[in-house]
Amino acid sequence: MAQTATEPQTGDSPAEPAGERPVRRPALSPSRASDFKQCPLLYRFRAVDRLPEPPTKAQLRGTLVHSVLERLFALPQPERQPERAKELVEPAWSELSAERPEWTELFAGEDQAKVADWLGSAEKLLDSYFSLEDPRRLEPEACELHVETELDSGVRLRGYVDRLDVAPTGEIRVVDYKTGAAPREIGEAKAMFQMKFYAVVLWRLRGVVPRQLKLMYLTDGQSLAYTPDEPELRRFERTLEAIWQAILKAGKTGDFRPNPSKLCGWCSHQARCPSFGGTPPEYPGWPEPDPGEESPLDRAD
Ligand code: SF4
């Protein structure tokens, strides 16, 4: 279950009608900001048109592994062992597939052996996780932490941190598990963008620049650690503000241009993309209330 760390709501937040879902103010998420940077048209398809994207088995496996790691850290420290983690795989998948029955469609017509192979591939990622660290020696402050803040410019940032470790001295480490199938070198710049996004949010929420941003690549059992500094985060804040302004400008006119790159190979929308001979649907207008939403699949790339 995701936890939440947000600043107090400012007075201009819409009032929450009794018995109704709170109105979420427009915010930038790392996934959508990264989409816009990569290709404005991809951002439009995902955040404005909200076109469905069938998940891949690799994405589902990533969501499953994130869920298992969250459950693992809910166990008493001595129990956080590889075999115990593997025991969590099936119950976690049962729960995820009950919550999102459409995800099981990917396995329609497949026999149990194929599903077992896929679950086994999730167990391999967990083995890889244990080769990188010993969770019995860690006590994270939070897993799957929802974080949200507003910059002085009024730009609102929102996201989910896989894990937050806080040392007794107050030093913060932001940890992100990477389980995606894309080659690591393709995703690395995007991953670091995401980590700096979280660093800015946590710095603004807590007044402390995170000591370390740690990416754990479970597909190849490697990790990458980075130490940001305050001037860098200030510059990055300006980058995020510029991205948000560019999104709002494109949102008014509907002018979201394609930006073809080697990442198009992972795009589900080639058939609608002018760069591949397609035609986008008619622009539906700027969505209300929130074009910045992330799905659990975004968070488990
Ligand atoms: S195929 Fe490439 S250029 Fe076209 S929308 Fe997707 S990412 Fe953008």
Q: Are 272 and 157 in the same domain? A: yes
Indicate the average pLDDT of the chain. 88
Closest-CA residue, ligand 1 atom 4, reads: 273
Is residue 211, in this structure, part of any structural domain at all? yes
Q: Are 178 and 46 in the same domain? A: yes
Q: Are 158 and 68 in the same domain? A: no
Closest-CA residue, ligand 1 atom 3, reads: 260
Is residue 269's pLDDT more than 50?
yes
**pLDDT band with cut points at 50, 70 and 90 for residue 299:** low
Whether the Cβ atoms of residue 244 and residue 236 lie closer than 8 Å to each other: no
Question: Is the CB–ligand 1 distance for residue 250 below 6 Å?
Answer: no
Centroid of chain to Cα 264: 19
pLDDT number for residue 287: 79
pLDDT number for residue 27: 87
The number of folded domains in the chain is 2
Q: Given 137, 162, 181, which residue is the final one in a domain?
A: 137
Candidate of 38, 39, 43, 263 to mutate for ligand 1, largest count of ligand atoms within 8 Å of Cβ = 39
Is residue 161's pLDDT more than 60?
yes
Is residue 292, in this structure, part of any structural domain at all? no
Is residue 12, in this structure, part of any structural domain at all? no
Question: Is the CB–ligand 1 distance for residue 41 below 6 Å?
Answer: yes
Q: What's the CA gap between 71 and 80, in Å, rounded?
A: 10
Is residue 1's pLDDT more than 70?
no
Higher pLDDT, 297 or 255: 255
Candidate of 34, 262, 264 to mutate for ligand 1, largest count of ligand atoms within 8 Å of Cβ = 264
pLDDT number for residue 157: 96
Question: Is the CB–ligand 1 distance for residue 260 below 6 Å?
Answer: yes
Q: Are 85 and 201 in the same domain? A: no
- Domain residues for the domain of 94 are 57-137
pLDDT number for residue 67: 97
Q: Are 43 and 178 in the same domain? A: yes
pLDDT number for residue 297: 55
Q: Are 42 and 185 in the same domain? A: yes
Q: Are 192 and 75 in the same domain? A: no
**In this predicted structure, which of 125-129, 139-143, 262-266, 297-301 has the lowest mean pLDDT?**
297-301
Q: Given 86, 116, 137, which residue is the final one in a domain?
A: 137
Candidate of 257, 263, 269 to mutate for ligand 1, largest count of ligand atoms within 8 Å of Cβ = 269
Question: Is the CB–ligand 1 distance for residue 89 below 6 Å?
Answer: no
Q: What's the CA gap between 226 and 93, in Å, rounded?
A: 32
Is residue 86's pLDDT more than 70?
yes
Closest atom of ligand 1 to CA, residue 263: 7
Give the pLDDT confidence of 176-225 residue by residue, as tens digits: 999 976 667 777 888 999 999 999 999 999 999 999 999 999 998 999 99
Closest-CA residue, ligand 1 atom 2, reads: 264
pLDDT number for residue 54: 86
CATH number at residue 149: 3.90.320.10
Give the pLDDT confidence of 95-148 residue by residue, as tens digits: 999 999 988 888 988 888 999 999 999 999 999 999 999 999 999 999 999 999
Whether the Cβ atoms of residue 86 and residue 127 lie closer than 8 Å to each other: no
Closest atom of ligand 1 to CA, residue 269: 6
Closest atom of ligand 1 to CA, residue 274: 4
- Residue 185, C-beta contacts closer than 8 angstroms, at least 6 positions apart: none
Candidate of 44, 263, 270, 279 to mutate for ligand 1, largest count of ligand atoms within 8 Å of Cβ = 270
